[in-house]
Structure 1
Amino acid sequence: MKNKRRFGRFHRLLAAAGLCALACLGAGLVTTRPVGCSNDDLTAPLEVMTEDPSEEEKVVYLTFDDGPSSTTEAVLDILKKEEVPATFFVIAAENNEKYLPLLERTAAEGHMIALHTCTHDYKAIYQSPSAYWQDIDALKEKLSAYVDPQELVWLRFPGGSTNTVSHKYGGSSIMKDLKAQATEKGYHYVDWNVCADDAIGGHPSAEKIYNNVIRDVGDKHRCIVLMHDTKATQNTAAALPDIIRWFKNAGYRFDTVDHLEREI
């Protein structure tokens, strides 16, 4: 395998594309409804990840937030048929708890399961750092029947690691504090730099979702693709085969986010 540029520390910020953020401006705040990601999750002004022009290998990390759900089996069927891995940042809210047994299949088929908070309730999780970690502990407890909790060391903050929605509840320093504490606790967090815009409302078509992903890829050699696994994002599953085939034809290797950093 060709030598690869190290991504730095595991918690290096991986940026959302500017177009992804602009497309979602003006969305209403997520407060108490445990329904998973919404427009606000796509507005975080994340830092731009610099590509090494000497990098030759192209890798794509397909990631799905907010599952498991009634859409999960369709997503898993496609991934199995196409023989590619993905990373699932899961929740365990009231609306999706009954689908948690699907995580057994998800793990058995070689996909990575990661943390996205239990309730996805901004008002609750971002009121303080301690409230956030209590929510993470609750999620790990609910997942323990299906996944070894010791393996759950990767997470994605709702709204991204530089979101400002959290400031309304926990003050302007809460994300800075949470990122520092994540590192201290042995967690690694990851954002995205390619956005499907599949949770912005209006139920975008499969064709639109596909075009959104390809739009954001540009000349990136490392693509962390943000998609959603919810009842409302069935069109994401419909777009997935074409998205996968595009990346295959463009010469990308598929991997899970725990391999973002590799030794030279």
Structure 2
Amino acid sequence: MLGLAAGFLLGSFYAAAPVIGCRESDLTPVPDTEFLTPTESEAPAASVPEKLPAPPEKWVCLTFDDGPSKTTPDVLAALNAAGVKATFFVVATGYNEKYLPLIAEAAAAGHQIAFHSASHEYSDIYQSPDAYWEDIALLQERISPYILTDGIHYLRFPGGSTNTVSRRYGGKGIMSELKAQAEEKGYTYVDWNVCAEDAVGGKPSANTIYRNVVRETGEQTQCIVLMHDSATTRTTAEALPDIIQWYKDQGFAFCTVEQVLKP
């Protein structure tokens, strides 16, 4: 039941290359309610931070898709200043190649690194299950100089595990097939139940992003928050200190995904 345990809501989107981000039209219409001070390293960084013995009663996972990019250093600075660990679902599109060393920095600071996509091109990765896993293999190859990819067992499907955009290219059943295959391969797939709406267009302000997170959290006590550290979501980094402070004020413990969603 790997994917079921991790199957919070929706997923992450993609706009035409080289802009990586969210496109609202590709969201699932009906939510799935199941749910540093960095130092350079010559060797790939370990990808598994220390786990909590058990999830706290009230917790939040801050997750970031579509990086690393020029936005990532500011996101890392905000997280590290607050002493908060997050989870990064990374891409390696070719457009962000010069930022890939930031993966090692994030891992060295104790943040979790997880798979997102090499290309993030829906039309390519969702042609067939084989095409999807070829994309993941390419992602592993591209980031392997910076992280030990054998230790990564978490991923986020582009568009989320209940997306509809994949049907255009691989048919109605492709996501069910991919979810089953992910579990067979030992992956836990991760969606979310709080969306910052920071990459759906319109370049939302930091204050708007903050309000979106607060509104969508509502009365929930176990939250996986979707944000982005792509090149086009600079205001996410600006909003992050206030978001972190708000969750602290509400009594949330900050966790990485692997600390609360066990394989």
Q: For 1:207, what is the secondary structure of its paired residue?
A: helix
Q: CA deviation at 1:189?
A: 0.3
CA contact (8 A) 1:90 1:115 kept: yes
Question: What whole-Å deviation, never above 9, does each CA across 1:72-123 have from its counterpart, x for those lacking one?
Answer: 0011111110000000000001221110011111000000000001000000
CA contact (8 A) 2:21 2:200 kept: no
Question: What whole-Å deviation, never above 9, does each CA across 1:159-186 have from its counterpart, x for those lacking one?
Answer: 1000000000000000000000000011
Gaps in structure 2 of 5+ consecutive residues: 36-54
Corresponding residue for 1:36? 20
Corresponding residue for 1:124? 124
Q: CA deviation at 1:260?
A: 2.0
Corresponding residue for 1:186? 186
What amino acid is the match of 2:8? L
CA contact (8 A) 1:65 1:229 kept: yes
Identity, in percent, stands at 51
The answer to whether residue 42 in structure 2 is matched with residue 48 in structure 1 is: no
Corresponding residue for 1:165? 165
Question: What whole-Å deviation, never above 9, does each CA across 1:28-67 have from its counterpart, x for those lacking one?
Answer: x9586353232148612331147xxxx9821000000000
Q: Alignment length, in residue pairs?
A: 242
Corresponding residue for 1:75? 75
Corresponding residue for 1:24? none
Q: CA deviation at 1:127?
A: 0.3
* Structure-2 separation of matches of 1:43 and 1:84: 28
Q: For 2:117, what is the secondary structure of its paired residue?
A: coil
Alignment CA distance shift 1:41-1:157 (3 Å): farther
Corresponding residue for 2:9? 15
CA contact (8 A) 2:15 2:21 kept: no
Q: Matches of residues 1-264 of structure 1 in structure 2 within 5 Å?
A: 9=2, 11-12=4-5, 13-16=7-10, 33-40=17-24, 43-44=27-28, 45-49=30-34, 57-261=57-261
CA contact (8 A) 1:32 1:124 kept: no
What amino acid is the match of 1:230? S
Q: CA deviation at 1:9?
A: 3.8
What amino acid is the match of 1:216? E
CA contact (8 A) 1:37 1:120 kept: no
Q: CA deviation at 1:247?
A: 0.2
* Structure-2 separation of matches of 1:129 and 1:31: 22
* Structure-2 separation of matches of 1:211 and 1:196: 8
Q: For 1:226, what is the secondary structure of its paired residue?
A: strand
TM-score, normalization: structure 1? 0.86
Corresponding residue for 2:44? none
What amino acid is the match of 1:227? M
